Structure 1
Amino acid sequence: MKKIGWRWLAGLFCLLMSSLLIGSFVPEIRAASYPDRTITLVVPYAPGGVTDLGARALAEAMERHLKQPVVVVNKPGGGTTIGGNAVVTSKPDGYTLGFFPTSASLPEVFTYFYEAPYSSKDLKPICRILAPVLAVTVKEDAPWNSLKDLVEFARKNPGTKMGTHGKSTLGYLVMTTVGKAEKVSFADVPFAGDSKIVPAILGGHVPFGTPAFPSIKPLLDAKKVKVLALCIEKRADFAREIPTVVELGYKLAFISYLGVFGPKGTPDEVVKKIDEVVRKISEEQDFRSKINGMGTQLNYEDTASFEKSLVRYRENLQTFFKEEGLVK
């Protein structure tokens, strides 16, 4: 009886240890087989905009590499936090990802403008891939041919009006930064999108504005507007002749980005696989040409570097909004 009892206990112990060992390897096994079904890529805007088009181009390329469907799902609203929350509350298995701008990925910075049910700590940054490009734009017959010319005009005309997407956006941050550096003042006139900013510039309602480059590209080609500077770090591949505000000597709190995110807890092996796939895609000429054709800058950054950039951007934006009195 004693021998049978010991054998039974030994067998039970082995069974339990085997279960524990197998259980500990299950996440790695799942990660190794990832993906084995459809991936959802959440875009926090309505269909048709630059972010949506960029996401669809990336999804198409990811499908080729991963051999599984990658479906773009638009979840607009809440200052982009509805889409953000959809990813945060999803299972952290790599099958629900977000294609997010700053507002969706660092929502705690924008509490003056909207409340979010999550923070950046609830997301796992995977990589940066694109940089939306805003353009400091004036009418073709405007007397300014450079950002310096515009600054000198503002020096003589305090409160020069500028058309932006609002105080929570890059255009406002860029021109406020320029104003502080040059000790000149601009008066912000917020508009609900490029479809409002561009006609205001053309109609002379505001001397200049900061619309997205794709919205003014046809007008630039038709010589109806001039672009004095682009709101990015390095010259755009599709507009090598136009300087950037950083190149002109202005240090920005952050550079607008579009990155891939998963919910907190996404397995490291899955993160690594997605990051590696996006890196390869960013080097493909077909993808690069497609993105440049949209008037958007390719700006890949791997997981580790992107995480560091996000920490810096969060700190810089919090400081900027505090100085502007845009905090609760």
Structure 2
Amino acid sequence: MNRRSWLQDAIPAALAACLAPRVLAQAPAPSAWPSRPLRMIVPGGAGSGTDVVARVFAEPLSRALRQPVVVENRPGANGIVGNNLAAKAAPDGYTILFSNASAIAINAAMRDAMPYDTLRDLAPVIQVSAGGVLLVATAETPVRDLASFVEYVRAHPNIAYGTWGVGSTGHLAMEAIARARGLRMRHIPYKTMGQLLTDLQGGVISLAFVDARSPLSLIQAGKLVPLAMTGTRRSPMLPEVRTLKQQGFDLDLDGWYGVFVPAHTPAGIVLRLNEEIARVMVAPALQASFAQQGLLWVERNAPEQFARVIRSDIRAWKALATTARVQVD
């Protein structure tokens, strides 16, 4: 995802009209902002991938803003609980949301009834990273790549696999693979990544989609075998693992992390946040920390550019869910 010439892109009138118009206007931030701590809502539990990345990110942002940025975990309903809390917060610049593609774009693509409107009630500030999710198998299986995965699943119809939730990136990716290759599999959604990894270690399941960071110690210990990455690029943590597309499967949607504020937050605050976060992101230490989480740093991008990414992803995930015949209650 190349995000060059961020200031050169004009804001399309249609986008400005329908996506938090006041946020996209050019205006200075109030001189007194921020005068007190900010809360960063994370729509995932403590220790989740989103939480870990948010905490890595919050510390340097606190220094840049000269105010504490306090991480507040609000997990539930694949991110809807935390997203809703942020969407309903006062648009005063003191609530920011650190969310991800699954919680933002996939929910919007697959759920008709949510307590907030993603495009109307949340204003994008900046995308900070991109990265895929990882298909793994236990070492006891003969599976070592996507081709042997397909052979193994075909020989074991209705085999169970795990992900971190119904409608998650991993769920959609696995169902798309199964549909395209004529495989029959049974999905087991887990509430946390920790529970999923525990069942992989215990032999309850032998196949799963996971984030690239959480299973690293198990991979290094030879207990799990990495098979393929979703997304457009390989993970910096596992550079030897090819993407699905590099193994002949046409799926290259990236996951991402990004920052949002409630719609109608003053435009100057949004732009100040964008500028400060962009400065934070170029620090080598932070880029190294992101690489340790299996994430790829994204070049500076304006709010309207991130908004276009979100809209495009919603359309793409909706099409994928339709093809894979995945529905959520």
TM over 0.5: yes
Q: 1:275 to 1:42 in 2, by over 3 A?
A: same
2:212 is the counterpart of 1:224: no
Q: How does 1:65-144 map to 2 (within 5 A)?
A: 65-106=64-105, 107-111=107-111, 115-120=113-118, 121-131=120-130, 133-144=132-143
Task: Give yes or no for contact 2:167–2:326 (8 Å, CA) kept in 1.
Answer: no
Say if 1:261 and 1:251 are closer, same or farther in 2 by CA, change over 3 A.
Answer: farther
2:281 maps to what in 1?
282
CA 1:203–1:265 in structure 2 vs 1: closer, same or farther (change >3 Å)? same
Contact 1:85 1:118 in 2 (8 A): yes
Aligned ranges 1:26-37 → 2 under 5 Å? 28=27, 30-37=29-36
Task: Give the equivalent residue in structure 1 for 2:320.
Answer: 320
Higher helix share: 1
The 1:293–1:103 alpha-carbon spacing in structure 2 relative to 1, beyond 3 Å, is closer
Secondary structure of residue in 2 paired with 1:58: helix
Amino acid at match of 1:271: V
Letter in 1 for 2:311: V
Length-normalised TM-score, structure 2: 0.80
Query: Aligned partners of 2:76, 2:155: CA distance in 1, in Å?
Result: 40
Note closer, same or farther for the CA distance 1:279–1:213 as it changes in structure 2 (3 Å cut). same
Structure 1 vs Structure 2: percent identity of aligned residues? 25
Partner of 1:210, secondary structure, is strand
Determine the structure 2 residue equivalent to 1:18.
none
The structure-2 alpha-carbon separation of the partners of 1:52 and 1:230, relative to structure 1 and needing over 3 Å to count, comes to: same
Tell me if structure 2 keeps the 8 A contact 1:101–1:256: yes
- Quick check: 1:45–1:80 contact (8 Å CA) kept in 2? yes
The Cα of 1:110 is off from its aligned counterpart by: 3.9
Give the aligned CA root-mean-square deviation in angstroms.
2.6
TM-score (structure 1 length as normaliser): 0.81
Q: Which amino acid aligns with 2:314?
A: R
Do residues 57 (structure 1) and 56 (structure 2) align?
A: yes
Once residues 55 and 95 of structure 2 are traced to their aligned partners in structure 1, the CA distance between those partners, rounded to angstroms, is 15
1:35-54 → structure 2 map (5 Å cutoff): 35-54=34-53
Matched, 1:168 2:174: no
Say whether the 8 Å CA contact 1:105–1:123 is kept in structure 2. Answer: no
Amino acid at match of 2:327: L
Following superposition of structure 1 onto structure 2, how do residues 158-197 of structure 1 map, counting pairs within 5 Å?
A: 158-197=157-196
User: Are the structure 2 counterparts of residues 307 and 253 from structure 1 closer, same or farther at C-alpha, using a change threshold of 3 Å?
Assistant: farther
Q: Does the 8 Å contact 1:253/1:320 carry over to 2?
A: no
For residue 188 of structure 1, report the CA deviation from its aligned partner: 1.9
C-alpha distance in structure 1 between counterparts of 2:162 and 2:141, whole Å: 15
Work out which of the two has the higher radius of gyration on C-alpha atoms and give 1 or 2.
1
Q: Which runs of 5+ in 2 are unaligned?
A: 1-25
Relative to structure 1, is the Cα distance of residues 140 and 157 closer, same or farther in structure 2, using a 3 angstrom cutoff? closer
Aligned to 1:304: 304
**Displacement after TM superposition at 1:156 (Å):** 4.1
Counterpart secondary structure, 1:228: strand
Task: For CA contacts below 8 A with separation 6 or more, give which structure has more relative contact order.
Answer: 2
